[in-house]
């Protein structure tokens, strides 16, 4: 039974391990995955704890449906206080790790303390061991995984690992599993590194009983048919996420030269079709691969086609690597993108943060705020492909003044670089924005401003807002399961009703993250994909638990509020440029210079943006300062947090 | 109607490595999620991006049938499968040892051997594999499908050579 998977508390300082069941009343309040992680983080961390200290709990989980007979239940979630932002640290990845952890008997791990020497955790069929990692410390993310398999003589082991970046406490080091599945954002790899924890290895052959197996099987078939019939998923399954980059760049939604332009020109070499051709040339006609149980198969396979690393195998590149190592740095060359992607995968470093910070440093170099003396002679100008790749390595190994500063994150680096360097940094809550440019899309600007983990698209982005769907269709989607009668607009440059869209998406994404399902299987890129109305059946057939769509909505809202409570406790204030729900002044002051006719010249209107935030707070039940009203906490059953139920 | 022999035709090149086949196999047969119970398993070389689903070939001269000391394994001519009669099976696992494909499994929870039964003619692995890496086809057609695929590759190669020479 999915519900009999356990939670383990592992203390790396003392070596103590405690295993507990997850009570049903906790499940009914927080389901599992990211939602329950947030509850655990709020309950197991103290205000102001050092993100890289032993008291910061590292929480690893699968969703309540992980490895059940539902579609694409591959996602692993990791949470802790972020060393990048000082606020919520949270990342989510595909692959095969969480299912293996579930077959090994566990849904949640709470890891505290710090191991005396490099260690890794091995979990197998209900047993947990802490093992010596001296032989794998220093290894790349993939070599670490293969070495663990060899050491334990089991090629079926799935591991969650850090690379050299995590060991070197680069504050945006990621955690990885497989070739390229990355829990990329907020520096969870540095938290692992700070605990001397190189990896968590899992192997399980324990049954997960399905409550109603035949019904689960048949419903899963229907679910998959719905998911694979969506045009957007067919395209994902052919071109991977690069197609999104191509589409977004065509109308002017891609940051270029840090934030100087909103469209990357002369990018033929990294258009989705060009990348796909390289994949086909190097890996053959069938070069897409999938995460556990997923029929979207959006992960392309490639070998680096040329240059010193020619022939090296990797997967992706995701659109984020096109953005990070192509557009933002104005180096739109396939080899640079593919090599950059490979390096961050091997080092275990967030591609979005890395590319974004390099492009920021390039703008500072252009402005004379940092000089070639600071870069030890490296010509850090936009368009310099070699400089991009060199900087990736320097950041990972903290070589030189500029790279070492960047490895501490954007805001601390801005204090090192001085002058007005902070003004050029495209971030929210200390986390750099991905490559997208939101100046023409107020809904997306609101999303990055209010996302619980900083500037990010995967916590509340209403991506379908870009499709200009008829208002009737929008209303059908956005007024279920909770009725919404307020205004909505099909126009992506508008501000009307966008606060509700972001609020709805925030709950939708929390829902899938609690279930452990991929966002490509819900209302993210495809407007017709399953959400609250469909999830109760999947949950019932697989676990036997009964929920209404409204109850699932409430759970999502509750879990989002728990994340908010954590952020407020750690210092979030509404308009604070470093820790608040606020975007860089450039969104308001510098108009879009490229793109479609209705995009050129646009900025975010500061007044209207403020109204959107007010509306968003109102939907969430927050006061004007962004703090929850007492009645909201009471309604969500959060009046007495931390409540230590688990 | 003539009962045509049908077989699983696996095309590893098309496999995306998602292992949904393993999941649905275990759920269909045992009502649980557990790849260890799946009759089909995807073998992987992750560092090369190679995934190969392995399943019972329902051999004509099946080694498992030949080695079984209890005569518990026989051919079902109607479905063209090799079957285990659990009333006769003594659980010696000789069949597991002898199978050249590793297709006979041993379930250490139920203490029983297990193998693919083609889901009585509606293999779930095939039904759920959207990319068509596993297909259920007339045995007579397998060779012609393979010929077609090989021919396509030859054509593509010769086309490329011609382009390069031009």
Of chain B, the percentage scoring pLDDT greater than 70 comes to 94
Average pLDDT over residues A341-360: 98
What six digits make up the tokens of A449? 């401003």
Q: Return the pLDDT at B158.
A: 73
For the ranges A123-137, A230-244, A313-327, which has the lowest average pLDDT? A230-244
CA distance B111 to chain A (A): 14
Q: Return the pLDDT at B110.
A: 86
What CA–CA distance (Å, rounded) separates A34 from A26? 13
**Interior angle at CA A102, CA A149 and CA B26, nearest 5:** 95
Helices then strands, counting H and E runs in chain A, come out as: 24, 18
**Contact assessment for residue A514 and residue A34, using Cβ atoms and an 8 Å cutoff:** yes
Residue A481, preceding peptide bond in cis (omega within 30° of 0): yes
Confidence of residue B144 (pLDDT cuts 50, 70, 90): confident
Which of helix, strand or coil describes residue A270? helix
Q: What is residue A212's DSSP assignment?
A: S
CA distance B16 to chain A (A): 4
Q: Do A228 and B130 lie within an 8 Å CB cutoff? A: yes
Question: Which uninterrupted H or E stretch holds A124?
Answer: strand A119-124
Closest partner residue to A69 (CB to CB) among B23, B35, B46 is B23
**B53 - beta bridge partners?**
B42
Q: Residue B1 pLDDT more than 50?
A: no
- CB contact A301 to B (< 8 Å): yes
**Contact assessment for residue A240 and residue A265, using Cβ atoms and an 8 Å cutoff:** no
CA distance A203 to chain B (A): 11
Closest partner residue to B20 (CB to CB) among A103, A283, A293 is A293
Q: What is residue A628's DSSP assignment?
A: B
Confidence of residue B165 (pLDDT cuts 50, 70, 90): low
Q: Return the pLDDT at B163.
A: 66
**Interior angle at CA A468, CA A465 and CA A474, nearest 5:** 65
**Contact assessment for residue A143 and residue A159, using Cβ atoms and an 8 Å cutoff:** no
Residues of A in contact with B34 (CB under 8 A): 103, 205-208
Domains of chain A: 2-203 (3.60.9.10), 254-432 (1.10.569.10), 442-635 (1.10.599.10)
Closest partner residue to A210 (CB to CB) among B27, B46, B108 is B27
What CA–CA distance (Å, rounded) separates A257 from A313? 29
- The phi-psi region of residue A78 (left if phi > 0; otherwise alpha if psi is between -120 and 50; otherwise beta) is beta
Closest partner residue to B109 (CB to CB) among A146, A207, A285 is A207
What six digits make up the tokens of A257? 């030269």
Q: Residue B2 pLDDT more than 60?
A: no
Mean pLDDT of chain A: 97
Which residue in chain A has the smallest CA separation from B107? A205
Which of helix, strand or coil describes residue A639? coil
**Which B-chain residues 67-126 have CB contacts (< 8 A) with chain A?**
108-109, 124
Q: Do A208 and B124 lie within an 8 Å CB cutoff? A: no
Q: Return the pLDDT at B160.
A: 67
In sequence order, the 6+-apart residues with CB closer than 8 A to the CB of A217 are A69, B24, B27, B28, B124
**Contact assessment for residue A66 and residue A107, using Cβ atoms and an 8 Å cutoff:** yes
For the ranges A240-254, A439-453, A525-539, B151-165, which has the lowest average pLDDT? B151-165
Which of helix, strand or coil describes residue A334? helix
Average pLDDT over residues A474-501: 97
Which of helix, strand or coil describes residue A28? helix
Q: What residue ranges do the domains of chain B occupy?
A: 6-138
Question: Which uninterrupted H or E stretch holds A119?
Answer: strand A119-124
- CB contact A290 to B (< 8 Å): yes
Residue linked to tokens 């209404």: A548
**A182 - beta bridge partners?**
A176
**Which A-chain residues 195-214 have CB contacts (< 8 A) with chain B?**
205-210, 213
What CA–CA distance (Å, rounded) separates A188 from A172? 7
Of chain A, the percentage scoring pLDDT greater than 90 comes to 99
Q: Which of B12, B14, B15, B23 to mutate to test the interface with A (most CBs of A within 10 A)?
A: B23
What CA–CA distance (Å, rounded) separates A295 from A475? 29
Q: Return the pLDDT at B161.
A: 67
In sequence order, the 6+-apart residues with CB closer than 8 A to the CB of A139 are A147, A163
In sequence order, the 6+-apart residues with CB closer than 8 A to the CB of A585 are A423
Closest partner residue to A292 (CB to CB) among B18, B31, B127 is B18
Task: Say how far residue A197 (Cα) sits from the centre of its chain.
Answer: 21
Residues of A in contact with B130 (CB under 8 A): 224, 228, 295
- The phi-psi region of residue A97 (left if phi > 0; otherwise alpha if psi is between -120 and 50; otherwise beta) is alpha
Question: Nearest Cα to A427, choosing from A587, A275, A300, A543?
Answer: A587
Of A582 and B165, the structure prediction assigns the larger pLDDT to: A582
Q: Do B18 and A68 lie within an 8 Å CB cutoff? A: no
Residues of A in contact with B27 (CB under 8 A): 69, 210, 213, 216-217
The CATH number corresponding to B6-138 among 3.30.200.20, 3.40.190.10, 3.30.70.20, 3.40.50.300 equals 3.30.70.20
Q: Return the pLDDT at B126.
A: 98
CA distances in angstroms from A394 to A349, A623, B11, B62, B109, listed in the order given? 12, 44, 43, 59, 51
**Contact assessment for residue A383 and residue A463, using Cβ atoms and an 8 Å cutoff:** no
Q: Residue A332 pLDDT more than 70?
A: yes
What CA–CA distance (Å, rounded) separates A98 from A79? 14
Q: Residue B164 pLDDT more than 80?
A: no
Q: Return the pLDDT at B157.
A: 73
Closest partner residue to B24 (CB to CB) among A217, A291, A292 is A217
Residue linked to tokens 């303390």: A113
């Amino acid at each position: 039974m999915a519900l009999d998977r356990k939670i383990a508390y592992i203390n790396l300082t003392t070596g103590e391990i405690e295993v507990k069941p997850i009570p049903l009343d906790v499940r009914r309040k927080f389901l599992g995955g990211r939602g329950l992680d947030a509850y655990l983080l709020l309950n197991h961390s103290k205000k102001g704890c050092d993100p890289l200290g032993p008291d910061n709990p590292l929480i690893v989980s699968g969703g309540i449906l992980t490895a059940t007979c539902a579609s694409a239940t591959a996602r692993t979630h990791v949470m802790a206080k972020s060393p990048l932002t000082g606020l919520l640290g949270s990342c989510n990845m595909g692959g095969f790790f969480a299912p293996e952890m579930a077959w090994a008997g566990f849904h949640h791990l709470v890891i505290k303390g710090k191991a005396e020497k490099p260690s890794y955790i091995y979990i197998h069929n209900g047993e947990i061991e802490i093992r010596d990692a001296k032989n794998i410390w220093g290894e790349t993310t993939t070599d670490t995984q293969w070495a663990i398999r060899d050491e334990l003589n089991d090629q079926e082991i799935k591991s969650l690992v850090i690379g050299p970046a995590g060991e070197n406490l680069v504050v945006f080091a990621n955690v990885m599993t497989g070739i390229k599945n990355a829990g990329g954002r907020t520096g969870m790899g540095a938290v692992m590194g700070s605990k001397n924890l190189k990896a968590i290895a899992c192997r399980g052959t324990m049954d997960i009983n399905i409550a109603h197996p035949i019904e689960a099987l048949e419903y899963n078939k229907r679910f998959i048919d719905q998911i694979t019939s969506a045009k957007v998923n067919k395209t994902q399954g052919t071109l991977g996420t690069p197609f999104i980059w191509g589409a977004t760049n065509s109308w002017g939604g891609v940051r270029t030269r840090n934030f100087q332009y909103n469209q990357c020109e002369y990018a033929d070499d990294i258009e989705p079709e060009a990348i796909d051709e390289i994949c086909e040339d190097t890996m053959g006609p069938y070069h897409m691969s999938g995460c556990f149980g997923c029929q979207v198969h959006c992960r392309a396979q490639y070998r680096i086609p040329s240059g010193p690393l020619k022939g090296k195998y990797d997967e992706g590149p995701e659109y984020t690597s096109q953005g990070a190592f192509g557009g933002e740095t104005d180096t739109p060359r396939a080899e640079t993108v593919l090599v950059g992607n490979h390096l961050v995968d091997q080092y275990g470093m967030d591609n979005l943060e890395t590319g974004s910070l390099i492009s920021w440093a390039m703008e500072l170099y252009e402005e004379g705020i940092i000089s070639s003396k600071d870069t030890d002679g490296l010509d850090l100008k936009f368009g310099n492909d070699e400089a991009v790749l060199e900087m990736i390595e320097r950041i990972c190994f903290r070589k030189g003044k500029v790279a070492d500063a960047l490895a501490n994150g954007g805001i601390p680096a801005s204090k090192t670089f001085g002058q007005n360097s902070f003004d050029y940094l495209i971030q929210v809550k200390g986390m750099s924005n991905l490559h997208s440019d939101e100046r023409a899309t107020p809904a997306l600007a609101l999303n990055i401003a209010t996302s619980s983990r900083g500037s990010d698209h995967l916590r509340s982005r209403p991506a379908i807002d870009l499709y200009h769907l008829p208002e009737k269709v929008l209303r059908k989607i956005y007024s279920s399961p909770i009725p919404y009668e307020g205004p909505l607009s099909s126009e992506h440059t508008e501000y009307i009703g966008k606060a509700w869209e972001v609020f709805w998406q925030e709950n939708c994404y929390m829902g899938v993250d609690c279930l452990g399902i991929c966002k490509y299987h819900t209302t993210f890129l495809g407007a017709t994909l399953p959400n609250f109305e469909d999830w109760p059946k999947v949950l019932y057939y697989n676990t036997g638990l009964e929920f209404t769509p409204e109850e699932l909505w409430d759970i999502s809202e509750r879990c989002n509020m728990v994340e908010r409570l954590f952020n407020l406790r750690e210092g979030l204030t509404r308009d604070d440029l470093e820790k608040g729900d606020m975007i860089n002044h450039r969104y308001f002051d510098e108009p879009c210079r490229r793109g479609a006719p209705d995009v050129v010249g646009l900025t975010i209107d500061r007044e209207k943006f403020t109204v959107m935030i007010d509306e968003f707070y109102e939907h969430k039940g927050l006061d004007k300062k962004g703090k929850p009203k007492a009645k909201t906490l009471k309604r969500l059953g959060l009046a007495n947090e931390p409540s230590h139920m688990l | 109607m003539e009962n045509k022999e049908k077989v699983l035709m696996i095309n590893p090149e098309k496999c995306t490595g998602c292992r949904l086949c393993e999941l649905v196999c275990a759920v269909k047969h045992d009502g649980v999620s557990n790849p260890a119970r799946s009759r089909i398993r995807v073998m992987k070389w992750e560092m090369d991006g190679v995934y190969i689903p392995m399943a019972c070939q329902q051999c004509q001269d099946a080694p498992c049938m030949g080695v079984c000391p209890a005569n518990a394994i026989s051919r079902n001519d109607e479905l063209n499968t090799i079957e285990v009669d659990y009333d006769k099976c003594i659980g010696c696992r000789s069949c597991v040892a002898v199978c050249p494909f590793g297709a006979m499994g041993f379930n250490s929870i139920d203490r029983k051997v297990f193998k693919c039964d083609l889901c009585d003619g509606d293999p779930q692995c095939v039904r759920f594999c959207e990319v068509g890496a596993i297909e259920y086809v007339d045995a007579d057609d397998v060779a012609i499908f393979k010929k077609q695929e090989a021919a396509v590759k030859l054509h593509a190669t010769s086309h490329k050579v011609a382009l390069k020479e031009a």
